[in-house]
Amino acid sequence: VLVVMADMTHYCEALREIATAREEIPGRRGYPGYMYTDLASLYERAGIILGRASETYPGNGDIMGLYEQVARKSGDDKRMLHFLEQRVARPDASPEEAREAADLALKLEAWDRAEALMLRAVKIGEEVIGDLGRVSWALLGLAGRRGKVGDLAGAVKWLKQARDAAN
Instruction: Please check the confidence at residue 148 and state whether its pLDDT lies above 80.
Output: yes
Q: Is the pLDDT of residue 109 over 60?
A: yes
Mean pLDDT on 6-19: 84
Confidence of residue 1 (pLDDT cuts 50, 70, 90): very low
CA distances from 16 to 10, 52, 74, 143 (A): 10, 32, 21, 53
How high is the pLDDT of residue 2? 36
Q: What letter represents residue 160's amino acid?
A: K
Q: What is the pLDDT of residues 29-72, one digit of tens each?
A: 889 989 988 888 888 998 999 999 999 999 899 999 999 999 99
Q: Return the H-helix or E-strand segment holding 13.
A: helix 8-21
Ranges of H-type helices in 33-110: 35-56, 61-74, 77-88, 95-107
Q: Does residue 111 surpass a pLDDT of 80?
A: yes
- Distance CA(131)–CA(135), nearest Å, equals 8
pLDDT at 3: 46
- The closest of 118, 107, 108 to 145, measured between CA atoms, is 118
Under 8 Å between Cβ of 141 and 122: no
How would residue 6 be classed by pLDDT, with cut points 50, 70 and 90?
Answer: low
